[in-house]
Amino acid sequence: MSWLSRIPVDRFLLAIITAAVLASIFPATGFWVTVLQWATTIAIALLFFLYGARLSPSETLAGLKHWRLHLTILSFTYGLFPVLGLAVVALTGPMLAPGLQSGLLYLTLVPSTVQSSIAFTSIAKGNVAGAVVSASASNILGVFLTPLLCWLLLSSTGKVAFTTSTIVEIVLQLFLPFVLGQLSRRWTAGFVKAHPQLKLVDRGSIVLVVYAAFSAGMREGMWSSTSWTDLAIVLAVCVVLLGVVLALTWWTARRLGFDRADAIAIQFCGTKKSLASGLPMAGVLFVGQPLGLLILPLVLFHQAQLMACSALAGRYAREPVA
């Protein structure tokens, strides 16, 4: 059973699960709801400030020369995935609660991951530079595209309604901190690079968002409207969805004439969905909505993609490279 030790259930995911369990047993109530809301707002703003401080505009612009690679990856992230999300909602309509359906669609609208996309591409001997640029571009564009796609595809469900106050909140909590982080790079980039422990701020803010979401879900009777059958269906859908995009990214990359290194970057960057960006964005986009069920599909998909891509990266690493 040595293969069990290689399954990448990391501490971050365990922290997320722990936060969800604690919130289900000890949800925030009364005065602590307000405290948690303010803490979550500040944590999300700090998270996007650090994103801006880390991403180098010069490196991104230099890597954009390989535009076919980046356009292909972005087409999967913000084109194919939303189409598949709409198909999933149509197919599971009679079977799932509305919150889980919206969650399945939402997971298809968030940006790609940065760290794991680059790490798996590197392990598999793919185009690491291309993965860095594409994953970074996905997250930069996601600040604009994810809210826009949510407005186009989720507003009809009543889960997200774009008003002037919603747009202002998105700008203040996501875009403005990111821009300030970019503008501050002259003073902050070196410090952020020299202190990798700042990732604890990233992860801590995400764990806080999960606790807040599940606390709100408990106050609203989230689990009373969800069965184990629903959860099993969502997990199965996530696994099938991941398998489809893994196959399509590789097949499309090779059909378009990309070499092996580029195809690996397309597969690993084009199939990922980011918890680090998706959960904080959900906290901003779905204010006043029960977030617990809505973010659950993204959490499940994230773990499935780690396991599948870990196995694929190991297999590619063992293959001889011409």
Q: What does the pLDDT read at residue 2?
A: 46
Residue 288, sorted as left (phi over 0), alpha (psi -120 to 50) or beta, turns out to be left
| Beta-carbon-side half-sphere exposure of residue 94 (alpha carbons within 13 Å) | 0
Separation between Cα atoms, residue 227 and residue 230, nearest integer Å: 5
Separation between Cα atoms, residue 143 and residue 113, nearest integer Å: 13
| DSSP per position, 195-231 | -GGGHHHHHHHHHHHHHHHHHHHHHTTTGGG--HHHH
Q: What is the pLDDT of residues 95-111, one digit of tens each?
A: 887 778 888 999 999 98
Q: What amino acid is encoded at 276 in this protein?
A: A
Report the mean per-residue pLDDT for the chain: 79
Q: 10-14, 58-62, 95-99 — which one is most confidently predicted on average?
A: 95-99
Neighbours of 83 (CB within 10 A): 10
DSSP annotation of 76: I
Q: What is the pLDDT of residues 177-195, one digit of tens each?
A: 878 888 888 888 888 888 8
Q: What is the pLDDT of residues 290-304, one digit of tens each?
A: 677 788 888 888 878
Q: What is the mean pLDDT of residues 270-290?
A: 78
Q: Is it the case that residue 150 has pLDDT exceeding 80? A: yes
Q: Which two tokens stand for residue 112?
A: 């790609």
DSSP three-state, residue 238: helix
- On whether the pTM is more than 0.85, the answer is no
Long-range contacts, stretch 253-258, CB < 8 angstroms, 24+ apart:
253/72, 256/68, 256/72, 258/68, 258/69, 258/72
Whole-number Cα distances in Å, 16 to 23, 105, 148, 209:
11, 21, 27, 9
Nearest Cα to Cα of residue 177 among 37, 39, 36, 41: 41
Separation between Cα atoms, residue 282 and residue 178, nearest integer Å: 17
Q: Is it the case that residue 80 has pLDDT exceeding 90? A: yes
Domain ranges within the chain, ordered by starting residue: 8-313
Q: What is the pLDDT of residues 200-218, one digit of tens each?
A: 776 777 677 778 777 776 7
> In the chain, pLDDT over 70 holds for what percent of residues?
81
Spell out a b/e string for 181-215, using b for 16 or more CB atoms within 10 Å of the CB, else e: bbeebeebbeebeeeeeeeebbbebbbbbbbbbbb
Stated length of the chain: 322
Q: What does the pLDDT read at residue 4?
A: 43
Q: Which two tokens stand for residue 59?
A: 């490196």
Q: Which two tokens stand for residue 216?
A: 């709100």
CATH number of 8-313: 1.20.1530.20
How does residue 3 score in pLDDT terms, banded at 50, 70 and 90? very low
